[in-house]
Amino acid sequence: MDVEGFLEGLADDPDRAASIAHVRRLPARRPSLAPIPSDLPDPLPARLRLLGVDGLYPHQAVGLQMLRAGRNVVLATGTASGKSLVYDLTFAELALRDPATTALFVFPTKALARDQLQGVRALRIPEIRAAVYDGDTPAAERPLIRRRANLVCTNPDMLHLSILADHTRWTGFLRRLALVVVDEAHVLRGVFGSHVALALRRLRRLAADLGAEPRWCLASATIGNPAEHAERLTGVSVEPIVEDTSPRGERRFVLWSPPVTDEEAGTRRSALAESAWLVGRLVREGVRSIAFARSRRAVELLATFARREVEPSARERIKAYRAGYLPEDRRRLEQGLRSGDLVAVAATSALELGIDIGGLDAAVLTGYPGTRASMWQQAGRAGRRAEGALTVLVAQDDPLDQYLVSNPAALFDEPAEAAVIDPENPAVLDPHLRCAARERPLDEHEARRFFGEEAVRGLERLEEAGLVRRRGDRRHDAGREPPHRAIDLRAGAGPVYRIVRADTGELLGTADERRAFGTLHPGAVYLHQGDPFVVRRLDLVDRVALVEEADPDFTTQARDVTDVEIVKVLDRSSALGPTGTWFGEVRVTDRVTSYVKRLIATGEVIEEVPLDLPPITLPTRAVWWTIPEEVADAAELAAPRLPGAIHAVEHCAIGLLPLIATCDRWDVGGVSTPLHPDTGATTILVYDGYPGGVGVAERGFRSVRRWLAATHGRLRACGCPSGCPSCVQSPKCGNGNEPLDKRGATQLAAAILHP
Lowest mean pLDDT across 142-156, 339-353, 396-410: 339-353
pLDDT band at 695 (very low <50, low <70, confident <90, very high): confident
- Give the span between the Cα atoms of 18 and 255, in whole angstroms: 11
Q: What is the pLDDT of residues 30-48, one digit of tens each?
A: 888 999 999 999 999 999 9
Tell whether omega for the bond before 739 is within 30 degrees of 0, i.e. cis.
yes
Residue 331: its pLDDT value, please? 72
Q: What is the pLDDT of residues 8-17, one digit of tens each?
A: 999 999 888 9
Residue 492: its pLDDT value, please? 63
| Average pLDDT, integer, range 279-283 | 95
Burial class (CB in 10 A: 0-12, 13-18, 19+), 286: exposed
DSSP string, 128-145: --EEE-STTS-GGGHHHH
| One-letter amino acid for residue 184 of the chain | E
Residue 647: its pLDDT value, please? 97
Nearest 5°: the CA angle 322, 157, 694 is 90
Residue 299: its pLDDT value, please? 85
On the question of pLDDT at 599 being above 90, the answer is no
Selecting from 2.30.29.30, 3.40.50.300, 3.30.360.10, 2.60.120.1030, what CATH number does the domain 44-241 have? 3.40.50.300
Residue 282: its pLDDT value, please? 95
Residue 386: its pLDDT value, please? 57
Residue 326: its pLDDT value, please? 60
On the question of pLDDT at 84 being above 90, the answer is yes
Lowest mean pLDDT across 344-353, 506-515, 630-639, 734-743: 344-353
CB 271 within 8 A of CB 402: no
Residue 384: its pLDDT value, please? 59
On the question of pLDDT at 494 being above 70, the answer is no
Lowest mean pLDDT across 103-117, 222-236, 350-364, 472-486: 350-364
Q: How many Å separate Cα 553 from the centre of its chain?
A: 31
Going from N- to C-terminal start, the domains of the chain cover 3-27+250-412, 44-241, 426-447+457-484, 496-552, 558-753
| Same topology between domain 3-27+250-412 and domain 44-241 | yes
Residue 300: its pLDDT value, please? 82
On the question of pLDDT at 372 being above 90, the answer is no
On the question of pLDDT at 330 being above 70, the answer is no
| Average pLDDT, integer, range 244-250 | 89
| Average pLDDT, integer, range 484-494 | 79
| Average pLDDT, integer, range 446-454 | 95
Lowest mean pLDDT across 363-377, 381-395, 454-468: 381-395
Residue 639: its pLDDT value, please? 92
| Average pLDDT, integer, range 516-537 | 87
Lowest mean pLDDT across 43-47, 250-254, 450-454, 662-666: 662-666
- DSSP H helical segments within 69-189, as ranges? 83-97, 110-121, 142-148, 156-158, 171-175
| Average pLDDT, integer, range 315-338 | 74
On the question of pLDDT at 415 being above 70, the answer is yes
| Average pLDDT, integer, range 614-629 | 95
On the question of pLDDT at 206 being above 90, the answer is yes
Q: How far is CA 374 from CA 531, 649, 653, 659, in A?
A: 27, 27, 21, 13
The mean of the pLDDT values for the chain is 91
Name the residue with higher pLDDT: 581 or 411. Answer: 581
Residue 719: its pLDDT value, please? 86
Q: What is the pLDDT of residues 137-179, one digit of tens each?
A: 999 999 999 999 999 999 999 999 999 999 999 999 999 999 9
Residue 201: its pLDDT value, please? 98
On the question of pLDDT at 405 being above 60, the answer is yes
User: Alpha-carbon dihedral of residues 669, 671, 677, 682, nearest 10 degrees?
Assistant: 130
Helices 444-451 and 426-439 cross at an angle (nearest 10°) of 130
User: Highest mean pLDDT range out of 6-20, 112-126, 182-196, 441-455?
Assistant: 441-455
Residue 357: its pLDDT value, please? 60
CB 386 within 8 A of CB 361: no
Candidates 191, 141, 640, 249; CA nearest to 426 is 191
| Average pLDDT, integer, range 76-90 | 92
Burial class (CB in 10 A: 0-12, 13-18, 19+), 587: middle
On the question of pLDDT at 298 being above 80, the answer is yes
235 backbone φψ class: left, alpha, beta (φ>0; ψ -120 to 50):
left
Residue 604: its pLDDT value, please? 84
3-27+250-412 carries CATH number 3.40.50.300: yes
Residue 226: its pLDDT value, please? 95
On the question of pLDDT at 691 being above 90, the answer is no
